[in-house]
Amino acid sequence: MKKIFNLLTLAAVFGVATSCTDILDTAPNDKLSSGTMWTTEESVDQGVIGVYYSLQRPFHGNQIIGADAMIGYYGYDAFGMTGQGEYGMQNLFTKSVNPSNGFFLKTWQWMYDGVHRANAAIAGIENAPINEAKKARLIAECKVLRAFFYDRLNILFGNGGIGVPLYTEPVNPSECDKPQSSEQEIWAQVIKDLSDAIAEPNLPDNQIQGEGRVSKGAAYALRGKAYLLTKEYDKAIADFAKVGECGYKLFPDYKQLFKVANERCEEIILAVQYIEDPTGYGTGIQKYCAAFTQGAKDSRGCWGDLQVTPALVNLYEEVNGQTVKKFAWEDYLSDWKKVTDMETAEGHTKYRKVFFIRDKFVNGKEIHSTVTKAVDTELAKLSAEIQAIYLPEGNEARLKTAYANRDPRLAYNVVTPYANYLGVNSNSTAEAWYTFRWPVAGKYYADQANAEPNANPELPNDYYASGFMNAQAEFKYIHRKFIGEGLEYLRREQNPVDEPIIRYADVLLMWAEALVEKNDLAGAMAKVKEVRDRAGIPTMASSFSDQTTARNYVRDERRREFVNEGINFFDEMRWRTLKETKFSEKVAQHAWGGTESTGGTVYDWIGDQWYTWPVPKSETELNPNLIPTPGWEY
């Protein structure tokens, strides 16, 4: 899967592209000029790799992570129900959001960069001096990639009928003057491109253990999705069935699926490739999603800017043998309802944190005076009635029971309170086990405690070694999926793990969606069961008792399965459920659902126009034929 990036140094070949520009920068002299492009087999190979390269880093992280950087698909989780960001979210979720917002422009540019690169490649390859079989295969690949970019454009900027500008041939910047084609016309072009690729005999059925290129299976998956969105459910079902016939299937081990060793496995249909390279060809997922005490051989100090929402964690069901049921806090914490009722009456969400505070004692002995002071500081913020609920010895054990018998994907995807994870010591020279506790006694207290004789030798070391977010006062759910363990990676940034864009579980659950809309509830249950069986979770017939129940259950299953994969936000947008699932939470939350000291931003729903992102204002100024997006003030 790394082969494409090992073929050449892409940065020396391609310049920075804008929303409507040539694929290549004709200067400086070390770059291929447009006059020499597509004239040799080598330049054709390089040009096609440039189209693949445009799949990287779709997300503008400024004000969402602590850096102004383009990051991977995982960034989109911060916009969905399953994830949240640390900072101001670029004002996208406030009433001040408008078409001049830089995030809209960056996203538009990224997507059209891919479109224009694909267009240049398709046109250039047509007359290139290469054999006809290879020519046909490369054109098919680029059509699949163009369809992918238009799929994203239509979901974000084109839904609701307005559509986006349709370009299928190379154009100069001055020629980017088309108005929007309708949403239906864009889907028709997506389906045509994918149909052309499917009909191409030189495009392989799959790329399992291959070079990381697109395949016929990827084309079927994307076309099935397009049919799902256009409500042509029979066609969607037929295409999803074809993906399996192309050789794709579920990898047997969900936990190991997201490791480098398995990124060429039979489940991965399309992925963005990365290599562990200091010059910029790795992913930053570890740095932005892991805890401070995690890292790699070069350093620790990950930022934890992107986190998991309590709403998602609460969706992971309780498993009891061959039955499952919805998780409810009051089943584990007897005072939970009393506390939440008091919060509701008083108009805040701070009391529930009493259940999440760490122990002060073990076997009747104080852990450390610094721990006691930190705990007492938090307790002092609560009323005497609530303080009485705290267990100085046993608070952690009581809370851990709520996470013990759950869908195992929860433990694979999320570091939950008082769970252990393998991190890196302060010198980044050795691995160390940490326990995710709160409150943390001090940012470097864990290392200081381990470096000195224990204040209480009868206590295990892990009572001193607390893990923490970058901000020690916070206690938010940390990502575990894709995160390197201990010294697994060479660098905390530029990690080698690939980012899947489409995997077979996605196909199965979209297939289930289509079956639900056909009211084939038994068929939908069977597809969901395939995904859940892999993780060892029973699937209950009661979850498919009627169409509405089944529809909501399939959606929840997608939320549980794809956390940190950048899928959920696009799901919520196409389902038009974001108002209920994201904005109902109002702000980024601590593990107990509390919102104090979040450092985040209040989420204000501006209206259903949010489901159709505005054409960036600067684009309407450059191209007066573009229609400003209805509902937005320009």
pLDDT in tens, 57-84: 999 999 999 999 999 999 999 999 999 9
Beta-bridge partners for 295: 300
Q: How far apart are CA 115 and CA 166, in angstroms?
A: 9
Gyration radius (Cα) of the chain, Å: 25
| Nearest to 566, CA basis, from 328, 283, 330 | 283
Tokens representing 158 are 């084109």
In this structure, are residues 527 and 558 in contact, taking their beta carbons and an 8 Å threshold?
Answer: no
**Segment holding 85, helix H or strand E:** strand 83-85
Summarize the confidence of residues 413-421 as an average pLDDT.
Answer: 94
Q: List, for residues 117-162, the tens digit of each pLDDT value.
A: 999 999 999 999 999 999 999 999 999 999 999 999 999 999 998 9
Q: List, for residues 305-336, the tens digit of each pLDDT value.
A: 999 999 999 999 999 999 999 999 999 999 99
Q: How far apart are CA 284 and CA 491, in angstroms?
A: 10
Beta-bridge partners for 70: 60
Beta-bridge partners for 579: none
Q: In which band, very low, low, confident or very high, does the pLDDT at 425 lie, cut at 50, 70 and 90?
A: confident
Q: Rounded to 5, what percent of the chain is helix, strand, coil?
A: 45, 10, 50
Q: How far apart are CA 314 and CA 328, in angstroms?
A: 8
Per DSSP bridges, beta strands 478-479 and 83-85 are unpaired
pLDDT given at position 464:
59
Q: Hunting for tokens 């054990």 — which residue is that?
A: 397
pLDDT given at position 113:
97
In this structure, are residues 484 and 261 in contact, taking their beta carbons and an 8 Å threshold?
Answer: no
Per-residue pLDDT for 259 more than 70?
yes
Residue 529, SS3 per DSSP: helix
Q: Hunting for tokens 């060793």 — which residue is that?
A: 261
CA separation (Å) from 25 to 10, 11, 57, 158, 535? 13, 11, 20, 29, 48
pLDDT given at position 444:
43
Cis peptide preceding 28, ω within 30 of 0: yes
Please provide the average confidence, as pLDDT, over all residues in the chain. 90
Q: Hunting for tokens 């794809």 — which residue is that?
A: 562
Least confident of 126-130, 223-227, 413-417, 586-590: 586-590
Q: List, for residues 265-277, the tens digit of each pLDDT value.
A: 999 999 999 999 8
Q: List, for residues 203-232, the tens digit of each pLDDT value.
A: 999 999 888 899 999 999 999 999 999 999
Q: How many CB atoms lie within 10 A of CB 235?
A: 17
Ranges of H-type helices in 263-335: 285-289, 310-313
Q: How far apart are CA 369 and CA 360, in angstroms?
A: 9
Three-state SS sequence of 390-423: CCCCCHHHHHHHHHHCECHHHHHHEECCCCEEEE
Q: How far apart are CA 380 and CA 384, in angstroms?
A: 8
CA separation (Å) from 430 to 77, 205, 260? 31, 44, 21
CA separation (Å) from 287 to 67, 262, 302? 11, 21, 4
